[in-house]
């Protein structure tokens, strides 16, 4: 093995030869020299030998024998390597070369001799594999960050200048370029203040890592940015600065707001929906010393408006009502909600009975004012209101809503367009109604205590009975005879009216079949029985089972019964009439569109409401109405019956006005059938709780 070349052998060395040699021997980097004529390594410092041992397998030779070896051992392309070293204009040269699995950082410097000829080269080198791996990892991470679908920026924590923007940041900022004070291309190096309305707050947040991580939504013009700030730290935990990730979430925020709106507010009116109102009410009641007034509102006459004008008009009307409620309830302690349909509710935190009553009066006056829905459409409705106040009437939302509903029911019963405050008596009456409904259900199941009474309808010209109207009566074991005005609405509300109606129809046909005078039987049909498509079937069953001729049965319907689902109701009546059964329009003149009903269906009989007849003797306008209706019936070829004839003066007037038939106490009161007469007499003789023993 040849001796390592000594740098002191070089002539004209600028330094004292021994110290120059020692300097290279002590360098902590690899240092070698190469003869450019032979391309052999003629010097290698100790650190080079040490480094070569670490890559001995790749080197392929003993590192201690490196001196005298060709420089070609370090390069895959020796020709390129020799060409590089042989041309002085290529030097100095810096390169990073792959050496097997390792990477070497190589610095080549020319070493001129005394004549100035470049005869040798100095190679300073180090193994850079770890640095390359680190650089590659950093590059990979940088590319990943650049391609992330979220915008990323870094900020200097001292100057607050933006030090980095990934590609997504640049693309996203380009979409909102007009909202920025500077161009996106100018942001690198610019202050982060351009994104915030309060720079002092922003800087305070970013300068202290204790504030991080942090997340916020910031408004930038019409856009909303979702900003997340996290701290970037060195391996020793030193705070290097904040990293901001952000995205434009304007559409997402709008969608979330829409979802929140749908979940918490009524889509038609924009008021709080049932769930939101109940949650707010519960929260109010949980506050210390809570006092909350609750108003339960139901619109009077809305159903008729909705059915007669269509749901689109009904929806417009509900929105107008909501606007008026909002206008009168804009205080911070008041919440207005729509519970469904035409039911609204208002809660007043800190409200008492007096305040709730004043507001109820104002709202009733406001709601009753006409609504100009369209240029040619002006509508009017009313409102009934029930009031309950905590803690006097309840301390839970369920209890308060229930008792406000009871008060609302009382307001409806009092004639509507008014309000009532809950009282224990109302609850007592409601419980009594529930018990009464249960008793009616039992009576229907056992057919016990139910009777049909019959009132005659007389032909004025002949004095003969042409028909008898079947009127249901119910005897309650404890209360005695219950007025039909009390139990019929209850049967309609509870769904018992269908069962009750089928029984009345069958019983009336069976008893009429036994009459020897051939009179017809008139049976009232509730509005709740119409429009279901089953009335004709029940009528046919009653006729077949009783053997009564179809022409001896009359079905009576009121005008109000035709206001809901008019087309379906009239379809039911047409099927009944096709069976040969007569159809009469009861309470004629009291509806909203009497003449329209006469046009829409060929009624066999119209019955003039008794209220006109009773007042006709003293009021010329009522007498005129009776006359007009009687003349109308004669012109249409239908029978006209005057109801409520109780005195001779009544009879004389309706006769003079041209009515065909009459019905009333003067000519006959309702009486039970002969088969029930004895049982009814016994019941009439029995005292009842309210002192009323007889039924009529």
Taking only the tens place, the pLDDT of each residue in 73-99 is 776 666 666 766 767 677 788 877 777
Q: Evaluate if residue 612 carries a pLDDT over 70.
A: yes
Helix (H/G/I), strand (E/B), else coil: 422 = coil
Fold of 148-254: Beta-Lactamase (3.30.450)
pLDDT tens-digit map of 166-183? 877 777 776 666 666 677
The structural architecture, per CATH, of the domain 265-422 is 2-Layer Sandwich (3.30)
Mean pLDDT for the chain overall: 83
Q: How many CB atoms lie within 10 A of CB 52?
A: 23
Q: Note the pLDDT tens digit of each residue in 279-308.
A: 999 999 999 888 999 999 999 988 888 877
Residue 169 to residue 173: CA distance in whole angstroms: 6
What token pair was written down for 579?
Answer: 């069976």
CA distance 249 to 106: 50
Instruction: Locate the domains of the chain by residue range.
Output: 7-133, 148-254, 265-422, 451-685
Yes or no: say if 60 and 74 are a contact pair by the CB < 8 Å rule: no
Average pLDDT in the 38-46 region? 88
pLDDT band at 601 (very low <50, low <70, confident <90, very high): confident
Euclidean distance between CA atoms 372 and 380, whole angstroms:
9
Are the C-beta atoms of residues 457 and 663 closer than 8 Å to each other?
yes
Q: b or e along 134-166 (b: 16 or more beta carbons within 10 Å of the residue's beta carbon)?
A: eeeeeeeeeeebeeeeebbbbbbbeebebebbb
Q: Which of 57-61, 180-184, 390-394, 402-406 has the lowest mean pLDDT?
A: 180-184
Q: Which residues contact 519 (CB under 8 A, 6 or more apart)?
A: 456, 465, 466, 467, 468, 512, 552
**271 falls in which pLDDT band (50, 70, 90)?**
very high
CA separation for the pair 384, 295 (Å, rounded): 10
DSSP 177-203: GGGSSS-GGG-TTSBGGGG-S-HHHHH
Task: Give the class (CATH, top level) of 7-133.
Answer: alpha beta
Q: Which CATH superfamily is domain 451-685 in?
A: EAL domain (3.20.20.450)
Tokens 């206008």, residue located = 327
Is 60 exceeded by the pLDDT of residue 403? yes
CA neighbor of 409 nearest in space, from 427, 397, 391: 427
- Helix or strand (DSSP H, E) at 133: helix 129-147
End-to-end, the C-alpha distance of the chain in Å comes to 142
Res 91: pLDDT: 79
Tell me the CA distances in angstroms from 291 to 284, 345, 349, 353, one per residue in order: 8, 16, 6, 10
pTM of this prediction? 0.54
CB-based contact 684:653 (threshold 8 Å): no
| Secondary structure letter of residue 443 according to DSSP | H
CB 404 within 8 A of CB 388: yes
Please write the tens of the pLDDT for every residue from 636-686: 899 999 999 999 999 999 999 999 999 999 999 999 999 999 999 999 887
Look at the block and give the residue holding tokens 């207005």.
336
Average pLDDT over residues 19-28: 74
Domain 148-254 and domain 451-685, same fold? Reply is no
Confidence of residue 150 (pLDDT cuts 50, 70, 90): confident
């Amino acid at each position: 093995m040849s001796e390592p070349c000594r740098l002191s052998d070089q002539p004209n060395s600028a330094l004292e030869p021994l110290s120059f040699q020692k300097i290279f021997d002590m360098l902590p980097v690899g240092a070698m020299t190469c003869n450019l004529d032979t391309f052999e390594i003629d010097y290698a410092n100790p650190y080079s030998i040490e480094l070569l041992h670490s890559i001995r397998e790749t080197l392929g030779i003993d590192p201690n024998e490196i001196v005298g070896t060709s420089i070609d051992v370090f390069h895959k392309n020796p020709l390129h390597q020799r060409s590089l070293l042989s041309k002085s204009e290529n030097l100095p040269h810096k390169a990073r070369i792959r050496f097997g699995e390792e990477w070497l950082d190589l610095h080549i410097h020319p070493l001129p001799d005394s004549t100035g000829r470049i005869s040798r080269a100095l190679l300073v080198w180090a193994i850079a594999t770890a640095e390359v791996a680190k650089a590659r990892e950093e590059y990979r991470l940088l590319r990943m960050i650049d391609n992330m679908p979220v915008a990323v920026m870094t900020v200097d924590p001292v100057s607050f200048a933006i030090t980095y923007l990934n590609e997504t940041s640049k693309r996203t900022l380009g979409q909102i370029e007009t909202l920025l004070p500077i161009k996106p291309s100018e942001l690198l190096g610019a202050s982060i203040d351009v994104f915030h309305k309060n720079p002092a707050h922003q800087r305070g947040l970013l300068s202290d890592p204790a504030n991080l991580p942090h997340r916020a939504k910031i408004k930038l013009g019409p856009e909303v940015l979702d900003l997340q700030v996290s701290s970037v730290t060195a391996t020793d935990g030193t705070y290097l600065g904040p990293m901001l990730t952000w995205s434009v979430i304007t559409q997402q925020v709008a969608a979330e707001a829409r979802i929140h709106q749908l979940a918490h507010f009524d889509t038609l009116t924009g008021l709080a929906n049932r769930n939101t109102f109940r949650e707010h009410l519960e929260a109010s009641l949980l506050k210390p010393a809570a006092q909350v007034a609750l108003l339960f509102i139901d619109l009077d006459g809305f159903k008729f408006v909705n059915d007669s004008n269509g749901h689109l008009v009904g929806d417009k009307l509900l929105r107008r009502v909501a606007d008026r409620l909002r206008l009168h309830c804009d205080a911070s302690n008041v919440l207005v909600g729509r519970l469904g349909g035409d039911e609204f509710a208002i809660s007043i935190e800190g409200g008492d009975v007096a305040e709730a009553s004043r507001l109820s009066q104002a709202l009733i006056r406001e709601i009753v004012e006409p609504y100009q829905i369209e240029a040619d459409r002006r509508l009017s409705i009313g409102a009934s209101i029930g009031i309950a106040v905590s803690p006097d009437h309840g301390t839970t939302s369920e209890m308060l809503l229930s008792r406000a509903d009871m008060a609302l029911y009382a307001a409806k019963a009092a004639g509507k367009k008014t309000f009532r405050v809950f009282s224990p008596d109302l609850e007592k009456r409601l419980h009594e109604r529930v018990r009464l409904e249960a008793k009616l259900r039992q009576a229907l199941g056992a057919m016990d205590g139910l009777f049909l009474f019959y009132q005659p309808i007389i032909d004025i010209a002949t004095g003969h009975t042409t028909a008898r109207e079947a009127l249901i009566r119910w005897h309650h074991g404890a209360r005695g005879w219950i007025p039909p005005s009390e139990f019929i609405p209850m049967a309609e509300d509870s769904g018992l009216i269908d069962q009750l109606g089928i029984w009345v129809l069958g019983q009336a046909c069976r008893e009429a079949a036994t009459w020897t005078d051939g009179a017809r039987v008139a049976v009232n049909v509730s509005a709740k029985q119409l429009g279901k498509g089953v009335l004709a079937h029940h009528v046919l069953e009653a006729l077949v089972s009783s053997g009564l001729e179809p022409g001896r049965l009359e079905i009576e319907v009121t005008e109000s019964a035709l206001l809901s689902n008019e087309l379906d109701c009239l379809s039911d009546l047409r099927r009944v009439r096709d069976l040969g059964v007569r159809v009469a329009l009861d309470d004629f003149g009291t509806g909203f569109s009497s003449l329209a009903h006469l046009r829409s269906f060929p009624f066999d009989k119209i019955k003039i409401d008794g209220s006109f007849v009773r007042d006709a003797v003293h009021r010329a306008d009522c007498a005129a109405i009776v006359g007009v209706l009687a003349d109308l019936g004669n012109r249409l070829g239908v029978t006209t019956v005057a109801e409520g004839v109780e005195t001779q003066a009544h009879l004389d007037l309706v006769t003079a006005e041209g009515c065909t038939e009459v019905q009333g106490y003067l000519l006959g009161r309702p009486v039970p059938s002969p088969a029930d007469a004895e049982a009814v007499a016994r019941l009439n003789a029995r005292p009842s709780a309210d002192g009323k023993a007889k039924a009529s």
